[in-house]
Structure 1
Amino acid sequence: MNAPAKIETTLKDWETDQEVRWCPGCGDYAILKAVQRTLPQLGCDPANTVFVSGIGCSSRFPYYIESYGFHTIHGRAPAFATGVKLANPDLDVWMVTGDGDGLSIGGNHLLHVLRRNVNLQIMLFNNEIYGLTKGQYSPTSREGTKSPSSPIGSVDHPANPCAFALGAGARFVGRGIDVSKHLPDVLKAAHAHQGAAFIEIFQNCIVYNKDVFDDFAKPKGADQQQLWLKDGEPMLFGSEKTGGVKGIALDSENLILKVVDVEGDDWQSAGVLVHNAKSRMLAHMLVELPFGDFPMPLGVIYDDPAATFESAVIAEREASAAGKEASLAKLLAKGQTWTVDGTAQDPV
C-alpha cells in the first residue's frame, strides 16, 4: 500500500454541479462546507477519494463532493466501503452515515467495520431523529421524544454512538458539532489516523428536532458546556467571564470523574487530569459522562492506532501466493473433477 500523493486543490475543486438539497438551515450544509474546506488542507486528490453513504439525509453527501462516490443501501455503507478499500487500499475512503442508518438497520455492519479496523474515516451525523422519513424517533432519540412513531413520548433508552464505537473495538473516536470551528481539526486527526476513525457529529435537524443540542451547542455559554479535548493538555473548560475555570479530575475513592474548580492557572493543585488519547479506559469514562453534571466531551477522545484490516488481508494473500505459480487451469482442475472425452458409446 502506498500513501497517496498530496496535491493542491481549493474548496471549488470539491464542489459538484449538483444542487444541494437539504432543508434550509439543516446542519448538513455546515458539515459539507467543513469537509470541502478540510480536504484541500489535507492535500487530498479528488481522483483518489471515495465517499460512501447509506440511506438518509446525510447520505446525499456523495452527490455534493467532487470525487468518486457510492450512494448505497440502507445501513450497508460499511460493507461497500470495506469492499472498496480491499479492492484498492490506496484509495482515501470516507463513509457517511446517520444515527438511524448507522445504528439501527446498519448497527451490525458498523460494528464489523470498526472491529476489523478498516482504514477509513466514518462520519456519523447524529440529529437524534429520522429526518428523511418524516421525523420518527431514532436509536439516539432521548427518552420522552415525541414523534409520529412515539406520539406520547419514546420510552427507549438512547444509544450512545461513541460508547458503541468503543465497545466495537474502534481505535479512534472523536466528536464534533456541525457549526463548530473545531470540527475541521477533528476531521484532520481522523484522516491522519491509520485505521477506522469514527467521528460523531451533532447535527441540527431544523424541521423535526430543532435546536435539540442547544443545551451545549449554542454559542452563548458554550465554554461552560463544552469540553474540547487535546492530547497532552489539561481537561479545562469555562472562563472567569462565564462562571469560572473548571476542570475534570479523578475521584480516586470511587474511580469516577468529577468537576473541580480551578484557581488562576493552578490546575495541577486542583487535580485536573491531562488528556491521554491513548487511554481506552479514560475514553470510556468520558463518553459516558452525564451531560448536565458535566460538559459535553468533544474533539479527539481516543486515538490509538493498530494494524489495519486490509494490511492483514494483503499480507495473508502474499504469504499464500509465495512460491506458487498462478494457473487458472490448475485452480479449475483442483478437487473432485472428471474429464469427458467425447467418445460415443453404442447403447447395449
Structure 2
Amino acid sequence: MSVETPLPVLKPADFASDQEVRWCPGCGDYSILAQMKKVMPTLGVPREKVVFISGIGCSSRFPYYMNTYGMHTIHGRAPAVATGLKTSRPDLQVWVITGDGDGLSIGGNHLMHCIRRNMDLNIVLFNNRIYGLTKGQYSPTSPLGKRTKSTPMGAIDNPLHPLSIAIGCEATFVARSIDTNVKHLEQTLKRAAGHKGTAFVEVYQNCNVFNDGAWSYAKDRDTKAETTLELEHGKPLIFGKDRDKGVRLNGLEPEVVELGKGITEDDLLFHDEKSAEPSLAYLLSRMRHEDGFPEPIGVFRSVDKPRYDELINDQITQATSERGPGDLDKLFNAGETWTVE
C-alpha cells in the first residue's frame, strides 16, 4: 500500500518571491499582497498548483511578487488567458489580478464573458479610481467631475460600478473589501478562494500619489462606521458608530432609518447572500456614500451554478468516449487536400 507524502507546512514567507516589490511607498497594493500571502498557506494548495495571471497596470506586477507560477499578460486580457489555462488545467488554482483601468476599460468585454461563464477563477480587482501606472489619467471608475491630466476640466463619463457589472453578469460570488481593513480583506480573499466558480472581489485601494484619499470616507477611523456597512448573511443591515442606523426597503427603494423610534431590527432589510435572485445583491451594489447610504463591504452573493471549465471538459470526455481520442494527422489530411510544390 502506498502512503501519500504529506504536504509541507507553508508560511506566508514561503509565498514571497525574491523580487524587489516596486510599488510607491504607502501604496495600498502592499496590504493586498500581504493579506494574499497570509491566506495562501491556509488553503492547502501546493505552490506549483497556484497561478497568478495579470494584465497591465500597477496591480499587474502582482505575479512577480508571489512565489508561485504566474503570467504577466497584455492589457485587459488576463481573464481570457486565465480561461484557457483553467480549461486545459482544471487542477490548478487560478487567480486573476486586475485594476479598474485594466479590467474595466479595454478588458471589460473579457471580464464580462469570463464572469458570465462562471469559470472557476478568483478575480481580484484593485479599484483606486485612477490610472496609476500611466501617471494619473481618469479611469472607468473615476467620479463625474474628476480633474486629472486627461480631464483638466473634469471627467464627463458616468463611472462604472464594478460590483454592479459583476452581478449583472450573474456572478456567483461577489464581494468587496478595503486595503486597510486587513482582517476583513484576509477573510474575504479566503472565502473567494473556497468558492467554486467565478469569485469576483473588488478592493478599495488607495493610490497615494495620483488619487490620494479616494476612499477616505470608508477608511478613516472617524467616519468609516457611518459610511460603511459590513454584510453578514441572515443579519439585518445595521451600521453606525452606535449601531443605531439601518437600511430598509420603502417599496423598491432602500432608505436609511434610525432604530428605536418605532423602528426595530425586524423592519430592516436582511441580507441573503445565498439568494438565487440577484436583485438584492444588485441593489446593495448601488448604495453609494454620495447618495447618503453606507457602502456595503463583505460578501454580496455566494451561490452555486454550473461552471464552464467543468462543462467543457465533460463534453470532451463524452466526445472521446463516443468517437475515440481522434487523430490530428488523419484530420489534417481528410477530405480534399492538395500539395503546393
**What's the TM-score once normalised by structure 2's chain length?**
0.92
CA distance in 2, matches of 1:75, 1:190: 21
Are the counterparts in 2 of residues 31 and 178 from structure 1 also a CA contact under 8 Å? yes
Q: Name the structure 2 match of 1:326.
A: 325
Q: Name the structure 1 match of 2:105.
A: 104
Q: Which AA in structure 2 matches 1:300? A: V
Q: Which AA in structure 1 matches 2:53? A: V
CA distance in 1, matches of 2:216, 2:193: 28
Are the counterparts in 2 of residues 22 and 57 from structure 1 also a CA contact under 8 Å? yes
Larger Rg: 1
**Cα distance 1:319–1:204, how it changes in 2: closer, same or farther (>3 A)?**
same
**Cα distance 1:339–1:8, how it changes in 2: closer, same or farther (>3 A)?**
same
Deviation readout 1:160-199 (Å, 9 max, x if unpaired): 1111111222111110101112011111111111111111
Q: Displacement of 1:339 after TM fit?
A: 9.7
Q: Displacement of 1:334 after TM fit?
A: 3.0
Q: Name the structure 2 match of 1:277.
A: 273
SS in 2 for 1:323: helix
Are the counterparts in 2 of residues 172 and 303 from structure 1 also a CA contact under 8 Å? yes
CA distance in 2, matches of 1:205, 1:13: 27
CA distance in 1, matches of 2:127, 2:326: 50
CA distance in 2, matches of 1:295, 1:336: 66
SS in 2 for 1:78: helix
Q: Name the structure 1 match of 2:250.
A: 251
Q: Displacement of 1:331 after TM fit?
A: 2.8
How many residue pairs get aligned? The number is 329
Deviation readout 1:142-172 (Å, 9 max, x if unpaired): 1111111001211111111111111222111
Q: Which AA in structure 1 matches 2:217? A: D
Deviation readout 1:18-65 (Å, 9 max, x if unpaired): 110000000000100011111112223211100000000000000000
Q: Displacement of 1:333 after TM fit?
A: 3.9
SS in 2 for 1:13: helix
SS in 2 for 1:173: strand
**Worse-superposed segment, 285-294 or 21-30:** 285-294
Q: Name the structure 2 match of 1:194.
A: 196
Q: Name the structure 1 match of 2:207.
A: 205
CA distance in 2, matches of 1:284, 1:191: 22
Q: Name the structure 2 match of 1:336.
A: 336
CA distance in 1, matches of 2:39, 2:85: 22
CA distance in 1, matches of 2:265, 2:41: 39
Asked if 1:15 corresponds to 2:11, the answer is no
Are the counterparts in 2 of residues 7 and 43 from structure 1 also a CA contact under 8 Å? no
SS in 2 for 1:233: coil
Identity of aligned residues (%): 46
CA distance in 2, matches of 1:208, 1:338: 60
Deviation readout 1:64-113 (Å, 9 max, x if unpaired): 00000000001100111011101100100000000000000101110111
SS in 1 for 2:226: helix
Q: Name the structure 1 match of 2:83.
A: 82
Are the counterparts in 2 of residues 236 and 248 from structure 1 also a CA contact under 8 Å? yes
SS in 1 for 2:95: strand
Deviation readout 1:190-233 (Å, 9 max, x if unpaired): 11111111111010001000011111222223122111112122
**What's the TM-score once normalised by structure 1's chain length?**
0.90
Are the counterparts in 2 of residues 124 and 199 from structure 1 also a CA contact under 8 Å? yes
Q: Name the structure 2 match of 1:291.
A: 289
CA distance in 2, matches of 1:339, 1:137: 55
CA distance in 1, matches of 2:215, 2:174: 20
Are the counterparts in 2 of residues 129 and 138 from structure 1 also a CA contact under 8 Å? yes
Q: Name the structure 1 match of 2:3.
A: none
Asked if 1:172 corresponds to 2:173, the answer is yes
